[in-house]
Amino acid sequence: MARYDFASDNVAGAMPEVMDALVAANAGTASGYGTDHVSRAAADRIRALLDADAEVRFTASGTAANAFALTLLAQPHEAVLAHEHAHIRTDETGAPGFFGQGVGLIGLPGASGKIEVAALEAALARPEVSYNQPANALSLTTATEYGTVYSEQHLRALIAPVKAKGHGVHLDGARLANAVAAGFDLKSVAKMGVDILVIGGTKAGSTPTEAVVFLNPAHARRLDARLKHAGQLVSKGRFLAAPWLGLLGEDGSTGPWAARAAHANAMAQKLAGLMPFPIRHAVEANGIFVEMDEPALERLRGEGWFVYRFLDGTVRFMCSWATTPEMVEDLGAALKRVA
């Protein structure tokens, strides 16, 4: 039987705090479409977490969260700048273009998933012509697709020229908990000029839920109508919001959301210490990307372990909130046998 322990951080179940919060939210009746007391309480915790006033909504899919966000930042004749290996470009099956009725994506280079400042500046300097979609937004990701974490200085260097041109900024935080556990300051997000932030719950150890934070007041107008039109205004909204009462502590604390991400990061460091194959990207969050030829990968799968070959040709190992030291040691022994 194949083991999927390290195939993705999506393979793990939900943490007990989340399940307890769902059970509590299930009691009694509540109004629908995100107008309930649970959704209000969860939104309050997220505003406190960011130390910012914002509209907060919840979706069951990171793809929907990202794609919907981009519809507010770019018109159908415009495009969004993103890393060439960003999830919105490589793993969302054209959803930004579908939700945005033709919104384009422009890929930018950068080592280990981080956009190069010079490449962004060159893209912003391109003259607008009638036959190309001009950029009107920037999408960033941290932790990146390669498990690295942007410094605040790097993010500011990318965001400043974008905002100077009047463009919008989206931050995909599918693994934001791991970035926070690695030292990223959540309270810097609003101050840097991010317009829409997606805070990942699913990969962090929840049932499916993503929090979409609209930091730009201009996006509040007819927001629920837009969400309904996009099929993202869920009738029993309390069940998307409730996990956040288990994930986050009161009074703005990051709670189990970041604490368990810190454990996932630590398990990645432990696995890195046992890894007999060359590691290509810095291990800063919960992912490890190694150089492994196809015969070695097939031997590993023959040992019962399933992992993916990733976009840059590396083999990816992901740790989760539920990864145990024993799992890491089992995999480490298998890797040693196939190396």
pLDDT tens-digit readout, 199-256: 999 999 999 999 999 999 999 999 999 999 999 999 999 999 999 999 999 988 999 9
The pLDDT tens digits for 260-301 are: 999 999 999 999 999 999 999 999 999 999 999 999 999 999
Whether residue 290 sits in one domain with residue 189: no
Q: Within 10 Å of residue 291's Cβ, how many Cβ atoms?
A: 13
| Model pLDDT, residue 235 | 97
- 269 and 236 in a single domain? The answer is no
Q: What is the pLDDT of residues 294-327, one digit of tens each?
A: 999 999 999 999 999 999 999 999 999 999 999 9
Q: For residue 98, is it within any domain? A: yes
Count the neighbouring beta carbons within 10 Å of the beta carbon of residue 8.
17
Report residue 40's pLDDT band, with 50, 70 and 90 as the boundaries. Answer: very high
Same domain? For 135 and 232 the reply is: yes
- Let me know whether 92 and 218 are in one domain: yes
CATH classification of the domain holding 209: 3.40.640.10
3 inside domain: no
- Residues 6 or more apart from 325 whose CB is under 8 A from it? 267, 270
Choose one of 247, 277, 299: the last residue of a domain.
247
* Percent with pLDDT over 70 in the chain: 100
User: Is residue 127 domain-shared with residue 177, that is, in the same domain?
Assistant: yes
Residues 176, 268 within the same domain: no
R_g of the chain, CA atoms, integer Å:
20
In a domain, 46, yes or no: yes
Look at residue 251 in the predicted model and tell me its pLDDT. 87
Same structural domain for residues 135 and 221?
yes
Residue 34 scores a pLDDT above 90: yes
Question: Do the bridges between strand 135-141 and strand 315-318 make them parallel or antiparallel, or are there none, so unpaired?
Answer: unpaired
Strands 104-108 and 135-141: unpaired
Q: Is 9 part of a structural domain of the chain?
A: no
pTM: 0.97
Q: CA–CA separation, 302 vs 300, rounded Å?
A: 5
Residue 285, pLDDT score: 98
- Do 226 and 172 lie in one domain? The reply is yes
200 lies in which domain range? 16-247
Residues in a beta bridge with 108? 83
Residue 313, both tokens: 């040709």
Question: Do 210 and 286 lie in a common domain?
Answer: no
- 264 and 173 share a domain? no
Q: Are residues 200 and 219 in the same domain?
A: yes
- Asked if 299 and 72 count as a contact pair (C-beta separation under 8 A), the reply is no
| 8 in any annotated domain | no
Asked which of 216, 247, 278 is the last residue of a domain, the reply is: 247
Q: How many domains does the chain have?
A: 2
Q: What is the pLDDT of residue 1?
A: 80
CATH number, domain of 314, equals: 3.90.1150.10
Query: Is the same domain home to 104 and 194?
Result: yes
For the segment 150-208, what is each residue's pLDDT rounded down to a tens digit?
999 999 999 999 999 999 999 999 999 999 999 999 999 999 999 999 999 999 999 99
